[in-house]
Amino acid sequence: MDSAYKLAANILKLINQISFIIQLILVVYMFLVTAYWFLNLLDIGLFNFMAGAADAITTSMHNIYDERIVVGKNELDPALLVFDILGMVFLVGLNFLKEFNLQKMKEIDSALEKIRAQREAEFNKKLKAEFEAKMRVFSNYAIIVTFIAKNLFTESIYTGMDTNAGVKEHEELAFKTLYAAVKDIPNCKFAKNGTQLILTSNHFDSIDKVLTTIDLATARIRQNFKKEKWLLTNYMAVETFDNKTTIKEVYPNLIKLIKLKVPNEILCMGNFNLRYGLLTRKLFNVYLNGLYDLGDGQDTNIYSLVKIV
């Protein structure tokens, strides 16, 4: 359909170009004829080279208007004046034709723009569908949470206390408390690596429930530790992967995020951000945390998930 519109637009454009050329030629011709007629009345032969054309025009005009104008004792033949009047009418008619064509060309451009916009929308919709289909393959996710405890009493150099006393025990306590909070979440598997809690699931739709449970639990654990003069910091990372990928392959990326040492935040990479964005309803906002070198010499976008209040 757009080819037909383009053809029509080109035809209208050609008609306007031809009309302009005709107008230009006609204006010049009318000027010369009028100048010949006027100067001939004054017996000035400056434009006598137009005599043949003027005679031909006069003969033609007599078929339309064969009257004479009497001015005093002189009788004038208005044939060339009639020609000029008809020429002016024709010029005006061409102007109307050009304006009409320009309006139609605008309408055609508008129609073509709508067609292009519709095709672009359909193309983008197709790309989006293909993208979502590829991203939905990432139906699994893995989460790592680790704790660092610090006894606030040992901050003073006068306490004489061992700065490491009770640290491992409190970190282990934080781990057990968090595990107790999440262990009954369905469709989740758990593993322990030192003070790291590793959680995996093949039901991505449960991600918000799991993250919310962990977020609330870690906040509560930190608050309880604070009451006992212990500073507890948790580091957390989440990543998504498909069924062809194992947790062993995902684990290094999670550790890279943990090593960034961003306290009490949930970190993820771009892949998880894209997959999480496909959820219809989300309990977390995803923000760009910053650009980090994860050891490959290149800056990588790292994102933070923040609970929607």
**pLDDT digit string (tens) for 260-297?**
999 999 999 999 999 999 998 999 999 999 999 888 88
Rounded to whole angstroms, what are the CA distances from 55 to 45, 67, 97, 118, 259?
A: 15, 16, 30, 60, 100
The model scores a pTM over 0.85: no
CATH topology of domain 140-307: Alpha-Beta Plaits (3.30.70)
Instruction: Using CB atoms within 10 Å of the CB of residue 56, give its burial: 0 to 12 exposed, 13 to 18 middle, 19+ buried.
Output: exposed
Quick one: CA dihedral 302, 196, 183, 151, positive or negative? negative
User: What token pair was written down for 299?
Assistant: 């800056």
Count Cβ atoms below 10 Å from residue 82 Cβ, excluding itself. 19
The predicted structure's pLDDT at residue 82: 79
Cβ neighbours of residue 267 closer than 8 Å, sequence gap 6 or more:
236, 237, 238, 257, 260, 289, 302, 303, 304, 305
Backbone angles phi, psi at 176, to 5 degrees: -65, -35
| Higher-confidence position of 247 and 68 | 247
Query: Could you give the CA distance from residue 71 to residue 126 in angstroms, rounded to a whole number?
Result: 81
Instruction: Using CB atoms within 10 Å of the CB of residue 172, give its burial: 0 to 12 exposed, 13 to 18 middle, 19+ buried.
Output: middle
The predicted structure's pLDDT at residue 194: 80
Residue range 139-149: mean pLDDT, rounded? 94
Cβ–Cβ under 8 Å, residues 129 and 26: no
Q: Please state the separation of Cα 48 from the chain's center in Å.
A: 68
Cβ–Cβ under 8 Å, residues 240 and 253: no
How is the chain split into domains, by residue range? Answer: 2-134, 140-307
Query: Could you give the CA distance from residue 142 to residue 200 in angstroms, rounded to a whole number?
Result: 4
The predicted structure's pLDDT at residue 126: 92
